[in-house]
């Protein structure tokens, strides 16, 4: 297995709930897990992500307040934002923001993406982004 150069590891308070969210709802693939503390390594369409459950008395847990990850969002590439949105709705999971198409200018080119925002069970903000291609910037 090849590990990406940047690989977020998210602390979670309820491992089972987080595992179900990422695997059953978002369809991330579990690459491997460990116990003591509970840990999972996921992959999703070329992205990688890890979660680790915080136990009582751990120093990292003392400084965290819900929602976790305030001030950051994790952009995750996907081939179909609508499929993710439907799965979230099917499981009665609220979106932070529904589907939005955006075009970002970079020099003479604009790059398009279709995105949704959702908070995971610990409050981490996930931005799923589908590539819409590029066009000449005006």
Q: DSSP characters for 1-67?
A: -PPPSS--EEEES-HHHHHHIIIIIT-PEEEEEETTTTEEEEEETTEEEEEEEPPTT-HHHHT--SS
Domain 9-55+70-136 indexed as CATH 3.10.180.10: yes
**pLDDT for the residue numbered 28:** 98
**pLDDT for the residue numbered 137:** 83
**pLDDT for the residue numbered 55:** 77
**pLDDT for the residue numbered 26:** 97
The angle at the Cα of 43, spanning 52 to 22, to the nearest 5 degrees, equals: 60
Best CA proximity match to 42, nearest among 28, 54, 53: 28
Q: Are 52 and 10 in contact (CB under 8 A)?
A: yes
47 pairs with which residues across the strands?
A: 44
Low-confidence ranges of the chain (pLDDT < 70): 57, 59-62
**pLDDT for the residue numbered 60:** 64
Find the helix or strand (DSSP H, E) in which 84 lies.
helix 81-90
Each residue of 58-74: pLDDT tens digit? 766 667 777 778 889 99
**pLDDT for the residue numbered 63:** 72
Residue 62 backbone phi and psi in degrees, to 5: -65, -30
**pLDDT for the residue numbered 82:** 95
**pLDDT for the residue numbered 61:** 60
Name the pTM for this structure.
Answer: 0.90
**pLDDT for the residue numbered 62:** 64
């Amino acid at each position: 297995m090849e590990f990406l150069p940047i690989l977020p590891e998210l602390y979670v308070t309820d491992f089972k709930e987080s595992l179900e969210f990422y695997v059953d709802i978002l369809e991330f693939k579990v690459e491997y897990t460990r116990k003591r503390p509970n840990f999972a390594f996921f992959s999703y369409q070329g992205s990688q992500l890890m979660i680790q459950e915080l136990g009582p008395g751990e120093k990292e847990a003392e400084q965290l307040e819900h929602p976790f990850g305030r001030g950051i969002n994790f952009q995750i590439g996907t081939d179909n934002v609508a499929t993710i949105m439907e799965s979230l709705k099917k499981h009665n999971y609220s979106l932070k923001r529904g589907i939005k198409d955006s075009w970002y200018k970079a020099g003479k080119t604009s790059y398009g993406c279709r995105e949704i925002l959702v908070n995971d069970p610990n409050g981490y903000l996930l931005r799923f982004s589908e590539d819409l291609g590029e066009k000449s910037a005006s």
